[in-house]
Each structure stands twice: as structure tokens, then as C-alpha cells.
Structure 1
């Protein structure tokens, strides 16, 4: 089947998570992603993993997570000849993506203006932690740091406990989505105007934007939402919204009529709290009372009773549990691809469904420089030129 972005080529200088996730999303939709990497080491994520565990004994799961559907060219960016190579490729490229610290690409000679001279239609997208200027511009733009700086960590967890970061790279992934949003908008504009443009995305703006509901309340009332001292699920919510223990685990209960919940639990004495102000002011006390009741149930029995009463609820599952979830299996969300070194790699498949141009996993995450010579041939470099670049150590051909 055709792919929505099959005629789009992306020159990808990005590394770690934000940029690579953005280009993976574009690659899933059919864009050709040419990942520019350092000879030898490549993307820093190739050297990072959790608990010193490596897929197939050699490959980083962190790298494999964000780099499928890409080709890799290994080239020394500091070599003068590298500019000749990359700018020749850029003549036929639609998008350039990079997420180095502000100023790095310009100092190396790969800023927007340099690419624009080669290809006026080019779309150049930069990702940073805190924008291009200002008092934080030299700070590292790492995910957990941004969660702390934007109030997300301070709004998560219990009142008498420490701030709690989210258990995933939330800021980077939101930044990646903003990159894709900007790039697709720019591609659409270029179809009408013929003009390329520069896009700048930063994690500070992205993470604040995605807390807009909480920020609007705080900014307009001049006070912070106070964290609960129980498992109420949000600092602005009243009881029963939260997580509750059962005999064999936990369940979540979202926005639901309090009276109906108490009825299901068979605890009419708790109706004394059934008042909007009381449900907020005494939410921790109410949570404790409700938890005493939910602990009498098994997870399956409580969910069955709550769902029958049209109460919003669900299981609390670990990542390992999720793999066997019946809805996850039904939707085919867990899939795999074959990697030349790691073997079969289990992954979460593309999240967007399209009737005419469905996304797919067409390539595994690449080896460093695996496609260097193939890419150069495709962009018009002769065998003699390729051999010369290889012999002088400017490029590297990786072996699968």
C-alpha cells in the first residue's frame, strides 16, 4: 500500500529521545529517514540501557525503541569534506531535524541558513530544552529536569512525600510530538507556497502547554493545587478519583457519582460525606474509608460490580501485565521486527491507524553506518568518491 510520507526525505542529526522519536513517527508513515551518526559510537543511546541489559546481548533497548524505519550514515561532521557530502544530500532532502544544544549545529556549519542556501525549500526543525536564548540556554535539557522545572514533579505524589517524576520520558515524547506537528504543518504550507521554513521546539514550552489545565487554574486563582495525602489521582480532584487497594492489587476509580460508588461497596455510612465541598476538603479521609471497603474485594469482583453500575474504573497493571492485556492483544499493539544482531525485538507498533496509507515497521533500528554507502550512491556519489571518503576515515560503513 502507498505510504502517506513516502516522498518525504529527512536528514536526521538528532540523538537520544526527543528527535529520534519524532523521526521514527515520520518513518512509520513512510518517510525516508537518514540518520546521521558519529563513526564508531553513533547515537549516545546506543550505549545506554536499564539494569545493564542488552537485547540479543549487544543492542540497547533504549536505542531500539526510537530508531526503527531508519537508515544510518556514519560520517565525521567535523571533517571539511563532510559538509560537501551532506549538503549534496540536502539538495534533495525535505526536512532536517536536530536536537543538539543551541548553537552547536551553527558552530559546526550545519545551521538553518547553511541548509537554506543549498535548498530554499528545506524545512529545518530544531529541538532544545529551553529555547534558543535566555538564562537557561546552557543548561542540559533532560526530561526529568524539565519535569521538575515545570511543576509536574511537584504536582505528582502525596502531600507528605517528595516530588515524583513520571515513570517515562514524558517531556521528550511531548517535544517529539510537537516536532512532528510542526513539520507536517510546514510540509502542508510548502505545498501551497513553495517555501521552506525553520521550526523551533523546546521541552519547556511543550511540557507547560500539556499542563495547561492545571496552569490556567493556578494562574487565575493565584494559588497552587495542593497534592492529596492519599492515592487521590490529581491535586485538583476530589474523592473518589484515585487508586484503591483490593485483595490482589489495585484498581483505579475515575469521575463517578459518589453515592453510586458507596452503594456498590455496600457502605451506606459513607454517605455522610456526599457533599461537593466535603468530597474535596476531606478527600484523604474519604479515601481511607473507601479503601477499607475496597480491600474486602478481589480485583475481578470489584471491577465487575463497578462496571455493571457504570462507574468509571480499571485495573492497575505493570508493564509486564500490559503485554497480556486482552485489549492490547486484540489491537495488535505488541509486535516485533527482526534485527541483524539482536534477533527478534518485541516493540509497540504504530499508534495511528489509517485506511489508505497505514504506517508500518519496514526496517529495524540500524547498525551505526549500516547504510552509509547505499545512501551516498542514491544521492549520486560515484564508487571512486565513496572509496576515497572511506579510506580517509570521513565515512564508515557499518556491518550488520
Structure 2
């Protein structure tokens, strides 16, 4: 199968979520992703999971989620000989990516200037929490911390409760999309001019950019949103926009003509609220009145009635329920690949469809150093030098049989 990026090679020094998701997206499009990891330990995400559960008894679902379509090269980055080996690879790669704190890669000899001297056409992307300068430069750039700092948590949840972080790594994932945007833009520029360049992205900028709708309102009116005390779905919205109970769960109702919603619910007393300012000022009261009516319906009956009236609505589903959603099944979004240690792993497949060069899952997430010697040989590193690196403990080649034995 032809892939759009199958002529692009990426040296990926990133870890955790932001960088690995970005390189997974590039890998889905065919880019050759070489994941640089620490011998013996690898990406920190390999050691982290939810509820102490491990896929196949050994593998982190957090790591598996963001590291398919990659090969792993385990090498000690601090040794001079390792650095020279990385420089040899850099002569023939297109992109270098990392998300270490500012200054770390430069101190190790892996900054943009180091790589551009070796390969002037190289594209070098650094991803950080707050940028590479300023009063927060040494702070940890973690997703929940950025949600708090940028106003997202303060705008989420009920007004009579605490700020609520989004239930996924939202900042990291938005940052990953900015990385991909920057890299693809730089690749296009290099195609036109032959010039490489340095790209810098950060979570602070990314998360503010993706709240631009809210920020434009707040900045231009000099006023904060106030969170409702009910399940209205956005601090700037009026009723009925929100989540409502039914007999067997919850449904969401978005922007819809209020009178038409009242007609479906069958209680004309609600029409006393049918005024734009009232629907905002008294939105908690309106929500409670609507919720009293929706609670009389089953989910199916209410959704059927609302959809028949062309009212924007939908189910509230758990993650397990989403797996079996008919539209999710129809789109083939849940896919399975075979992992060397964990066995069959269910994942969410690529989200972008392309007629000529469709993204695909061609490799499972790698084990630490699973492809070390294979990668070095491909880049012309002599067998004797590979042996020397291995004997000195500077590189690691994964033992799949040993890993499977541990799982058993």
C-alpha cells in the first residue's frame, strides 16, 4: 500500500503523550518512525497505567495507545560513542522531534544547531509545556496543569463545585496536532526551497489557541464566564444546551428552537421561558424544568421524538458502550493488532480517510529496543561497531522470547 509519507524518516526522542501521538499520526501516514529510548527503561509511559492493569500482563495501555507504527532503538544518549552513532543516522533523516524540557537536548549535544550542521535540510521540532523562555520555563508541562492554567478547568463543571479537568489528555493531544501541522508545513517548504528549519510548539499556546472562541469573548468584553449550577454544557450558553436525565440514562440536547423542544416534551408551561435573555439568566431553573420532563421518557423514545422534530440531540455513552456503537462499528474505528508480547490489542484506528494514500496500522507498538540492531544496520553502521555498542551496554536489543516468558 502506498502511503503519503513513506519517504520521510523521523528520529523521535519524545516520550509520554504529546510527542508520541504526533509521531504516531505521522507513522499512520507511512513515515518511518525511529523511537529513541533508554536501554532497559524506555519511554516513561511504559511504566504507567490506569488501575494497575497491563495488557497481556506486561504492556502499558497508555504506551500502546500512542506508539504503533514505530520501531524502537534503545541507546544511551549520554555516551560520546552513542552521540556519534545518532549523528550518523541524522545524515539520512528528515525530522527530529523531542519534548524534553528546554535546554536538555542542547546540553546532551542534540540541539537544532548540532543536527543542522550534519544535515542542513533537517526539520527539528521541540515541544514543551510553556515555550523555551519566560518565568514558567522550568515548570513541569503536564496536561492537567495546563488545563488549570489556561482557564479550561475553571470553565468546566458546575458553578457550585470545583473546576473540572477534561477527562482525557486534551492539552497533549492538541499539542500533538500542532506538531504535525508544523512538521508537514516545514516539509512542504523544504520541498520548495531545500531548506530545513526549527519548529517550536508548546502546550500553553496550543490550549489557548483551541479556546480562541471563549478567549475572544472574554478578552473583548473584559468579563469571565460563570459556570452554571446545572448540567448546561458550556459556561457561555443558555438553556437548553446541556445534558438531561432520562429513565435509563442521559441525553444531550444542543442548540434547538426552544418552542419546538417544548412541543416535543408536551408541557406548554415551559413556554414562559421562551425568551433569549431568560434562557440565559434563568438557565439553571430552565434546566431543572426540562429535566423534570425528560426524566419521564426512555432514552430511545425521547431521542426518536427529538430527532423526528429536527432537534439536535444524542446519547450519553460510556467508553465501553461507545465500542459497540453502530456508527463506530460501521466506520471500523475499533481495530486490533498483534503485539509481540501482549498478543491481540484493541485500538482506535486512524481517524482521517484518504482515497489515494490511506493511513493504516502496519506495526504494533514496539518493545524497548526491539529494532535497535535492525535500524543501525539499515543506516550503514557496521556489524562490528554494533557489537561494540552492545558489549559496552550502550544499546539494547529486546529479547521477545524473554518478554513472553515473563507474561506467561
Name the TM-score, length of structure 2 as normaliser. 0.98
1:119-198 alignment, distance < 5 Å: 119-198=119-198
1:286-297 alignment, distance < 5 Å: 286-297=286-297
1:28-43 alignment, distance < 5 Å: 28-43=28-43
Structure 2: state its 5+ residue gaps.
401-408
Mean alpha-carbon deviation: is it higher for 28-37 or for 390-399?
A: 390-399
Supply the distance in 2 between the matched residues of 1:194 and 1:265 (Cα, whole angstroms): 63
Supply the distance in 1 between the matched residues of 2:36 and 2:261 (Cα, whole angstroms): 55
Supply the distance in 2 between the matched residues of 1:335 and 1:50 (Cα, whole angstroms): 21
1:38-53 alignment, distance < 5 Å: 38-53=38-53
Supply the distance in 1 between the matched residues of 2:134 and 2:382 (Cα, whole angstroms): 46
Supply the distance in 1 between the matched residues of 2:166 and 2:33 (Cα, whole angstroms): 30
1:24-61 Cα shifts (integer Å, max 9, x gaps)? 00000000000000000000000000000000000000
1:274-318 Cα shifts (integer Å, max 9, x gaps)? 001001000000000000000000000000000000000000000
**Which residue in 2 is equivalent to 1:115?**
115
**Which residue in 2 is equivalent to 1:273?**
273
Is 1:391 aligned to residue 397 of structure 2? Answer: no
SS of corresponding position for 1:163: coil
1:295-310 alignment, distance < 5 Å: 295-310=295-310
**Which residue in 1 is equivalent to 2:101?**
101
SS of corresponding position for 1:269: helix
**Which residue in 1 is equivalent to 2:344?**
344
1:214-265 Cα shifts (integer Å, max 9, x gaps)? 0000000000011111000000000000000000000000000000000000
Offset, 1:113: 0.2
1:249-398 alignment, distance < 5 Å: 249-398=249-398
Supply the distance in 1 between the matched residues of 2:299 and 2:230 (Cα, whole angstroms): 20
**Which residue in 2 is equivalent to 1:244?**
244
How many residues are aligned here? 400
Offset, 1:382: 1.3
1:79-119 Cα shifts (integer Å, max 9, x gaps)? 11011100100000000000000000001110000000000
Offset, 1:325: 0.1
SS of corresponding position for 1:125: strand
Mean alpha-carbon deviation: is it higher for 64-73 or for 380-389?
A: 380-389
**Which residue in 2 is equivalent to 1:72?**
72
Offset, 1:391: 0.4
Supply the distance in 2 between the matched residues of 1:131 and 1:202 (Cα, whole angstroms): 5
Offset, 1:384: 0.8
Supply the distance in 2 between the matched residues of 1:254 and 1:281 (Cα, whole angstroms): 18
Supply the distance in 2 between the matched residues of 1:167 and 1:99 (Cα, whole angstroms): 22
SS of corresponding position for 2:288: helix
Offset, 1:383: 1.0
SS of corresponding position for 1:154: helix
Q: Once superposed, which parts of structure 1, at least 4 consecutive aligned residues long, lie more than 2 Å away?
A: none
1:356-379 Cα shifts (integer Å, max 9, x gaps)? 001110000001000000001000
Supply the distance in 2 between the matched residues of 1:32 and 1:87 (Cα, whole angstroms): 17
1:188-232 Cα shifts (integer Å, max 9, x gaps)? 000001000000000000000000000000000000011111000
Name the TM-score, length of structure 1 as normaliser. 1.00
**Which residue in 2 is equivalent to 1:23?**
23
Supply the distance in 1 between the matched residues of 2:304 and 2:275 (Cα, whole angstroms): 27
SS of corresponding position for 2:219: helix
Supply the distance in 1 between the matched residues of 2:354 and 2:101 (Cα, whole angstroms): 35
Supply the distance in 2 between the matched residues of 1:72 and 1:269 (Cα, whole angstroms): 64
Supply the distance in 2 between the matched residues of 1:60 and 1:68 (Cα, whole angstroms): 13
**Which residue in 1 is equivalent to 2:405?**
none
Offset, 1:399: 1.9
Offset, 1:18: 0.2
Supply the distance in 2 between the matched residues of 1:86 and 1:267 (Cα, whole angstroms): 71
Structure 1: state its 5+ residue gaps.
none
